[in-house]
Structure 1
């Protein structure tokens, strides 16, 4: 279990400044909480920790990145919000860290479902340009789509992706550790259902994309037969227990709120996914197929 190291002020609220300048830190490990002064914080002895605060200097970020220390810097309001975020974050990451074999096996057992989803994504994938996958996982989508860079918060998943030749950067979707206007397209394949703040995540994608850059989102559409089946089984699913499913219309609304213009959509899995024994030909539009691919342009 990871522990959180949270920058706080004298009153216990989130420190409104760079993490490394904080007068106090709150160490949270399970149900245990300990407040320390900054002089007692030795980043070389933090172990499996996530540093959490509002901001950080470039110099300090370079230091912790070189030491492979994980961090989340967002515009948090107070410590309660941070602790809630960290719990949600930890629960989701732990699921993927602890069940990587089951995750990989799903793609083998559902080969034609997976390949049909890849085929739908290929329909909208730009032929040129620098791309990145947000929530790259083990690289199951990035690899066949030719994407070489990914952001991923699960260490176990990231290790598999790295072995497969993908350059993986630690990070969360709500605070991407990437420069403005640095990519031509970004993929989020079955990722938006796991992020804590979908709107903030899409705004981050907007920030890192170049003008006319594309955001490509793959989802299990909650307004379809497959989506409703997933919702029914959600609580008993290892992976989807902590997920929040969206309809295509809801995602399009989020895209537009984050600044994107909705451009096109494709769908697959129009029948019972358990009966699929060949790669499906994607159909334009959404609302019928259980898996939708939605494209927005900056």
Structure 2
């Protein structure tokens, strides 16, 4: 079952995180933007769009999410809302050129099915970018320690970067790459952190891949 209740009940709290951690948010946004091609808004979708905090500034025009409350916020930010889940996207085959998931992969019921669906809806040469708090990064370890007390992460399954890369390869994606940021504590950041290649030092990682031409 999709994780919906905490996002329905704590929508304002979700949005406040981005307001009170602006430098961390800008760092994450830059990392997600880096591997993306030129966006065609009506052919780009964020899966697990939440309130549109990433889709809107990235010019991603479509947003899929199971939470009606979050979709209303995304719509207010100019994103076309589509209610649905990652494992069964309500989109046609080969209908988009860009799929983005940000802090979503840890909430899906089936990672392999999610990646298969992203591959299905992407046309040849299409790009997938998955941004997430890495399981073994400093922030991932802290979130796991306090998981029971955080309404958003109580039901999360944090993912390790090598496992996700293996799953992307199995789903048929090629040209994989990884970028990382958040080398500092988000609560103490005054300026955005840089975006660097690889993983292991930064808490937030973006793994990208491409559907073969």
Does TM-score exceed 0.5, indicating one fold?
Answer: yes
For residues 222-259 of structure 1, the C-alpha deviation after alignment (integer angstroms, 9 at most, x for no partner) is: 11111111111111111000111001111111111111
Task: Tell me whether 1:281 sits opposite 2:207 in the alignment.
Answer: no
Partner of 1:94: 5
Partner of 1:108: 19
Could you tell which deviates more after superposition, 234-243 or 126-135? 126-135
Task: Tell me whether 1:171 sits opposite 2:110 in the alignment.
Answer: no
Partner of 2:96: 183
Q: Structure 1: where are the runs of 5+ without partners?
A: 1-84
Partner of 1:213: 126
Partner of 1:266: 179
Cα offset for 1:128? Answer: 4.0
**Would the aligned equivalents of 2:61 and 2:79 in 1 still touch at CA under 8 Å?**
yes
> Matched residue of 1:143: which SS?
helix
Q: Against the structure 1 CA distance between its residues 265 and 291, is the aligned structure 2 distance closer, same or farther, given a 3 Å change threshold?
A: same
Query: Map of 1:59-208 to 2, 5 A cutoff?
Result: 85=1, 89=2, 92-129=3-40, 130-208=43-121
Tell me which of 147, 153, 161 is aligned to 1:248.
161
**Would the aligned equivalents of 1:252 and 1:262 in 2 still touch at CA under 8 Å?**
no
For residues 236-286 of structure 1, the C-alpha deviation after alignment (integer angstroms, 9 at most, x for no partner) is: 111000111001111111111111124222110113333211012201111
**Would the aligned equivalents of 2:39 and 2:59 in 1 still touch at CA under 8 Å?**
no
For residues 178-210 of structure 1, the C-alpha deviation after alignment (integer angstroms, 9 at most, x for no partner) is: 100011110000001111111101100000000
CA distance in 2, matches of 1:238, 1:244: 14
> Matched residue of 2:4: which SS?
helix
Would you identify which runs of 4 or more consecutive aligned residues in structure 1 move more than 4 Å?
none
CA distance in 2, matches of 1:262, 1:198: 19
Partner of 1:21: none
Task: Tell me whether 1:224 sits opposite 2:159 in the alignment.
Answer: no
> Structure with the greater relative contact order (CA < 8 A, sep ≥ 6): 1 or 2?
2
> Matched residue of 1:117: which SS?
helix
CA distance in 2, matches of 1:128, 1:240: 30
Could you tell which deviates more after superposition, 228-237 or 257-266? 257-266
Cα offset for 1:110? Answer: 1.0
**Would the aligned equivalents of 1:256 and 1:262 in 2 still touch at CA under 8 Å?**
no
For residues 72-131 of structure 1, the C-alpha deviation after alignment (integer angstroms, 9 at most, x for no partner) is: xxxxxxxxxxxxx3xxx3xx2111011101111111111111111001112112114421
Could you tell which deviates more after superposition, 268-277 or 221-230? 268-277
CA distance in 2, matches of 1:140, 1:250: 27
CA distance in 1, matches of 2:52, 2:184: 26
**Would the aligned equivalents of 2:47 and 2:86 in 1 still touch at CA under 8 Å?**
yes
CA distance in 2, matches of 1:274, 1:164: 25
Number of aligned residue pairs: give it: 209
TM-score by length of 1: 0.68
TM-score by length of 2: 0.95
State the superposition RMSD in angstroms: 1.1
Flag the structure with larger Rg: 1
